[in-house]
Amino acid sequence: MTGYFNEMYDGASVRPPYARLGDWVNAMPAELRQMKQAEAEALFRRIGITFAVYGEGGDPDRLIPFDMFPRVFTGAEWARLDRGVKQRARALNAFLVDVYGRGEIVRAGRIPARLVYQNDAYEKAVAGIVPPKGVYSHIVGIDLVRTGPDEFFVLEDNCRTPSGVSYMLENREIMMRMFPALFRENRIAPVENYPEILRRTLASVAPKKCNGEPTVVILTPGHFNSAYYEHSFLADLMGVELVEGQDLFVEGEFVWMRTTEGPRRVDVIYRRIDDAFIDPLCFRPDSMLGVPGLMDVYRSGGVSICSAPGAGVADDKAVYTYVPEMIRFYLGEEPILNNVPTWQCSKADDLKYVLEHLAELVVKEVHGSGGYGMLVGPKSTAAQVAAFRERLIADPGNYIAQPTLALSTTPTFVEEGIAPRHVDLRPYCLVGERVELVPGGLTRVALTEGSLVVNSSQGGGVKDTWVLAE
């Protein structure tokens, strides 16, 4: 696999962050590696970490493959990512407050009005509302790719309900359990305080009508949801209740939770259900997952919803192209992390270029996620490219296109031994009274040789992500 930046090897020599891992690998014969891999899978299965994939006829509770070879960043590398991700999270939240308020960025001509106000994710029902602390998106998952020693790019922003943080925590737990000596020999920054920081972040955005210690709950669609394990896992670690819509009700100016000891007032709802389903009186009337009247309480300052309804307009893939402009407009700074060059197919010139170079590009739906609804040109057949061309011509505004980046590789355990595989990274930035980022994240790895698609739903795996303490 040539032409890609290998994060461990610089030619024949090992790059400094991975210096201590060479001996670890050499001291692990194939039989021991296979035994450890089986042990890891048994632990994941016993703990119950599963990932359901909609529309598959197979195992609804399949494991996401776990690769034992960690990905490593130096403290200096991480310091730059930390600054860049926090900068982006601040700008995205400033954008949300603005577009649901005066819309100064639109008035200034820095972003087209139609991209914002005609966007399916723009919720007119929250226009004019400024949530507590001016935060719309409280958990921002920024997907990053690396193409060289100092080259990092933002692939996309996830401002609604980014998933996967349970894997970040469990990958670390299992690695520490299986290879304690590795952690004694390397100074690795901890990630296990994430649930505590998340709880503190959620409590910090309690509504103005909250008196005393806020009651925080996690609202889940239920156990049929693909990320249900994560919802229950986080509730358990934070020491808060995991609730479904039927467990909550509105009375007077507040939201209440049904308990065996009678109703208990709820102040902060960390919701893991989509906007459309949170209140049947405001959004989809057929929703059985939400809480009737919730939005009235939210508008009146009786409850906080995290992330706030309407936050999705900030992670639309066409809006993404304007995030560097948001950073300049709201923060008066230059972006620390660059976007991937992007063509907006809604623009005639961009569409013309994309159609002429379709076999070379990655094309994505602006509202798509999980690796669905996309074309990876260089990995597609002529028939797939031709079929996608028809979809693109029929609805160009629904797509953006990007070059096929030379994603970096990290060593990965495969059947033949160790081989380079492409990776990306999702750090989780928490935004409340403070903006905080734990030193680590979810590294996703494309387990198929040559594949650039790392999504779990498309067969990708996960790795532990280390940040070396300086």
CATH number at residue 345: 3.30.1490.270
Give the residue from 355, 387, 403 where a domain finishes. 403
Look at residue 331 in the predicted model and tell me its pLDDT.
98
For the cut 80, the answer to whether the pLDDT of residue 356 exceeds it is yes
pLDDT confidence band for 370 (50 / 70 / 90): low
Residue 40 pLDDT exceeds 70? yes
pLDDT at residue 58 in the model: 43
Q: Say whether pLDDT at 284 is over 80.
A: yes
Task: Assess if residue 14 is contained within a domain.
Answer: yes
End-of-domain residue from the set 381, 403, 425: 403
**Which residues share a beta bridge with 424?**
444
Q: What is the extent of the structural domain holding 390? A: 341-403
Confidence label for 371 from pLDDT (cuts 50, 70 and 90): low
Read off the pLDDT band of 41 (50, 70, 90): confident
Give the model's pLDDT for residue 249: 98
Specify whether 77 is located in the same domain as 162: yes
- Mean pLDDT to the nearest integer, 324-332: 98
Ranking 295-299, 360-364, 428-432 by mean pLDDT, the lowest is: 360-364
Could you report the per-residue pLDDT of 217-230, keeping only the tens digit for each?
Answer: 999 999 888 889 89
Same domain, 75 and 180: yes
Confidence of residue 26 (pLDDT cuts 50, 70, 90): confident
SS3 readout for the chain:
CCCCCECCEECCEECHHHCCHHHHHHCCCHHHHHHHHHHHHHHHHHHCCCCCCCCCCCCCCCCCCEEEEEEEECHHHHHHHHHHHHHHHHHHHHHHHHHCCCCHHHHCCCCCHHHHHCCCCCCHHHCCCCCHHHCCCCEEEEEEEEEECCEEEEEEEECCCCCCHHHHHHHHHHHHHHCHHHHHHCCECCCCCHHHHHHHHHHHCCCCCCCCCCCEEEECCCCCCCCHHHHHHHHHHHCCEEECHHHEEEECCEEEECCCCCCEEECEEEECCCHHHCCCCCCCCCCCCCCCCHHHHHHCCCCEEECCCCHHHHHCCCHHHHHHHHHHHHHCCCCCCEECCCEECCCHHHHHHHHHCHHHEEEEECCCCCCCCEEEHHHCCHHHHHHHHHHHHHCHHHEEEEECCCCCEEEEEECCEEEEEEEEEECEEEECCCEEECCCCEEEECCCCCCCCCCHHHCCEEEEEEEECC
> Can you give the pLDDT at residue 35?
92
What pLDDT does residue 454 have?
Answer: 80
For residue 235, tell me if it sits in a domain.
no
Q: What is the mean pLDDT of residues 70-96?
A: 97
Residue 381 lies in a domain: yes
Residue 376 included in any domain: yes
Residues 145 and 66 in one domain: yes
- Whether residues 88 and 160 fall in one domain: yes
Contact between 263 and 276 (Cβ < 8 Å): no
Work out the pLDDT band at 174, boundaries 50, 70, 90.
very high
Residues 376 and 428 placed together within one structural domain of the fold? no
Who has greater pLDDT, 45 or 276? 276
Q: How far apart are the C-alpha atoms of 27 and 185, rounded to whole Å?
A: 15
Q: In the predicted model, what is the mean pLDDT of residues 362-379?
A: 78
The dihedral through the CA atoms of 228, 233, 234, 238 has a sign that is positive
Residues 439 and 358 in one domain: no
Q: Are residues 397 and 426 in the same domain?
A: no
User: How many domains in the chain?
Assistant: 2
Is 354 within a domain? yes
Nearest to 318 by CA among 281, 364, 275, 282: 364
Are 358 and 452 members of one domain?
no
pLDDT (mean) for 107-124: 95
Residue 200 falls inside a structural domain: no
Tell me: the pLDDT tens digits for 412-443?
A: 998 878 899 999 999 999 999 999 999 999 99
427 and 380 both lie in a single domain: no
Tell me, yes or no, whether 13 and 56 share the same domain.
Answer: yes
> Is 232 part of any domain?
no
Whether the CB-CB separation of 172 and 192 falls below 8 Å is answered with: yes
Do 417 and 380 have their domain in common? no
pTM above 0.85, yes or no: yes
- Residue 131 located in a structural domain: no
Give me the pLDDT at residue 414, please: 87
**Of 403, 428, 444, which residue is a domain's last?**
403
pLDDT tier at 2, thresholds 50, 70, 90: low
Are both 346 and 428 inside the same structural domain? no
Over the range 43-78, which residues count as b (16 or more CB within 10 Å of their CB) and which as e?
bbeeeebbbbbeeeeeeeeeebbbbbbbbbbeeebb
| Mean pLDDT, residues 306-328 taken together | 95
